[in-house]
Chains A and B, each alone.
Chain A
Amino acid sequence: MIDLRRHNTVLVGHERYFLFQTETRWRMVHDRCPHRGGPLSLARRTPDGRRLSCPWHGTKIGVAALCRTALPMVRSGDEATVVLPGTSQDAPVSVIRRRILANLPPDADAETDPTDCNSSTGSAQPH
């Protein structure tokens, strides 16, 4: 479970994912710019809202393309359960963790848009 009011980023092995909101839907998308891996969780949207501007070198990433990187996720109220990808060839295809810890301060604003907030990195070590 992820408490969406408190956590918005998880680290799976060496890959980071963050919660990204479009319309009313939340998706857990890859926090990696295809150019050189810049943190898209820190990106701002272009004025037309259809792309993100990477904070490192300014590459524009389409929201639709970003959404295609989303992990399977079920949100139920404030809780979200994500099926995380396996981290090695031998590991099961997917694992779901009961709790995923992220390092946001406890009073982090629930309403903050993860696309323009200073999202902290989280850590979730695979079992």
Chain B
Amino acid sequence: MSTGEPHILHGANPYRRMLMPDAMSEVDFSASLGATELTSHRSLAAHRVLGTFYEAETILLPEQGLQDLRTDFDLFYGTDLRRLRESSLSDLEDFAFGFLDDEVDVTGAWTVEALDAYFQHAVAEADAGESPALTAITAARRPTVAADTYLVQLALDGLTEASAMSKNLGGAYGPEQSALFKIFIDEFGYGVHDAKHTTIFAKLLRSRSMASHVHAYWNFYLAAPLATNNYYYYVSRDHAKFFRYVGAVTYAERVFAPSFVKMIATYREVFGDDVDLHYADEHAHIDQHHGRITRDEVLLALAKRHGPGVIPELARGIAEARLLGSWFDEDTAAQIGWADTIGYHRELGLKAAAESDEGRRIDLAAGSPFGTRSHDRTTALVVADGELDLVTTATGEPDRMTRGDAVLIPSGRLYGLQAVSPTCTYEVRPIADQ
């Protein structure tokens, strides 16, 4: 699962994901993530594994057929990995999401009316707010690359959309179950494959000449988007968290429509007519209905039926979705900003390298498996020998670096390296944060 290929994109094989074994082995899994660490390398590493575990509970089949991938299919869904998953999943969830227990706290005497008032307040705030990621696209020196970076984050969910939701369709819980199912079947295009949301998302990617198979962009998913995607699995897998899931999905469905309206405006500004925004149009439209259905027929209906004992959990789900949504956006904006200003960070890197002690030396050979990582601390990367490419975006040109060049990598920023000369050596030096 952790072996990779030299290409920066993953091939059409949903069973293999690059986990950067060296970077993974640095991670201390003993102390859980804190609320301020969601974009850290620890978080990235944990959420890559967690997301893979969750998806192993769904059906992933490659479009081109299983002929060449039967062995990988057997491994991915096989007993060994299943046992590993089952024995470590709950601990990994505690590691990755335990901080939410401290971070979000719901108190007081709640009523259905109070829940609705809180919900309306949260969405009004979201509607009025800016999206840092969309703002970063508009402000970028290379807006097209920045816009692609945002699409990559959406692809994480876009190509497997509503998979977490499917876990909440079974059982028997009355009209609210049927209401949730209506949303689910919309996402699935009423059984018409061409209308399925994942199909139209793939169309959007292809209109940008981007790959559209599941996890082609695995190496470029950021920690907070991974965490956001995993959160919906987290609260869906464990049915004790059902009411949190409902709060979260109601918030998400309600804020999607206006956020896609903003996205459409930004993408039209960047690409003109040169992009297929059917997916965004569809969400800007259908999510108005989904926002209403989830609020009226799921959230408030469950609150009325099951009473004050569950309302705080519904409120908590709203708060958690809001929090993760803001981290998704900020992490994406930060990555766009960093990838767009590599020249500036190279200058900072030279300065920082001159002031820091020698760090860890790492050799890289041409044709080595490609993977991306981040650091928990701000780090200077210095090329000690040879020539390499610094890769910070999936679709932009990489930055060539040769002996003596350096770059400052802010904590949490994702990057990958490819050797250009047959071998090269670079050094990583942690820098004391200012």
Contacts and interface: CB of A to CB of B under 8 A. Distances in A.
Given A83-B117, A95-B117, A73 B108 contact: yes
Contact of A77 (B103, B107, B121, B316): B103
Contact of A98 (B104, B114, B125): B125
B130 interface: no
Nearest to B120: A96
Q: Report which residue of B108, B118, B319 has the largest number of chain A beta carbons within 10 angstroms of its beta carbon.
A: B108
Majority secondary structure of chain B interface residues (helix, strand, loop or mixed): helix
Contact of B107 (A26, A76, A95): A26
Majority secondary structure of chain A interface residues (helix, strand, loop or mixed): strand
A83 B118 contact: yes
B107 A73 contact: yes
A74 B125 contact: no
A86 B236 CA distance: 35
A25 B117 contact: no
Interface in B95-127: 102-111, 113-115, 117-118, 121-122, 125
A94 B104 contact: no
A34 B115 CA distance: 28
B66 interface: no
Interface string A90-111: 0011111010000000000000
A25 to B, nearest CB: 6
For this complex, into which size category does the number of interface residues on chain B fall? 20 to 34
Contacts of A76: 103-105, 319, 322-323
Nearest to B121: A96
B315 interface: yes
Interface in A71-127: 71-77, 81-83, 92-96, 98
Given A24-B102, A81-B121, A71 B108 contact: yes
B354 interface: no
Contact of A72 (B102, B109, B322): B109
For this complex, into which size category does the number of interface residues on chain A fall? 20 to 34
B27 interface: no
B139 interface: no
A67 B111 CA distance: 16
B35 interface: yes
Given A83-B118, A95-B117, A72 B105 contact: no
B117 A28 contact: no
Contact of A81 (B103, B111, B113, B118): B118
Nearest to A98: B125
A74 B315 contact: yes
Interface in A50-80: 67-68, 70-77
Q: Report which residue of A25, A68, A93 has the largest number of chain B beta carbons within 10 angstroms of its beta carbon.
A: A93
A16 interface: no
Contacts of A94: 113-114, 117
Contact of A74 (B102, B104, B113): B104
A68 B110 CA distance: 11
A53 B29 CA distance: 45
A27 interface: yes
Contact of A28 (B107, B318, B319): B107
B316 A74 contact: yes
A39 B26 CA distance: 53
B110 A72 contact: yes
A98 B122 CA distance: 10
A77 B109 CA distance: 20
Nearest to B125: A98
B251 to A, nearest CB: 12
Given A83-B117, A94-B113, A96-B118, A77 B108 contact: no
B281 to A, nearest CB: 31
Nearest to B103: A77
A39 B200 CA distance: 60
Contacts of A83: 108, 114, 117-118
Interface string B47-74: 0000000000000000000000000000
Nearest to B326: A76
29 contacts: A24-B102, A25-B105, A26-B105, A26-B107, A27-B107, A28-B107, A68-B109, A72-B106, A72-B108, A72-B109, A72-B114, A72-B118, A74-B106, A74-B316, A74-B318, A74-B319, A76-B319, A76-B322, A77-B323, A81-B122, A83-B108, A83-B118, A92-B117, A93-B114, A94-B114, A94-B117, A95-B117, A96-B117, A96-B121
Interface of A: 24-28, 67-68, 70-77, 81-83, 92-96, 98
Interface of B: 35, 102-111, 113-115, 117-118, 121-122, 125, 315-316, 318-319, 322-323
Report, nearest first, the 8 A-B pairs whose CB atoms are least far apart.
Answer: A70-B108, A72-B114, A96-B121, A72-B108, A94-B117, A75-B105, A83-B114, A27-B107
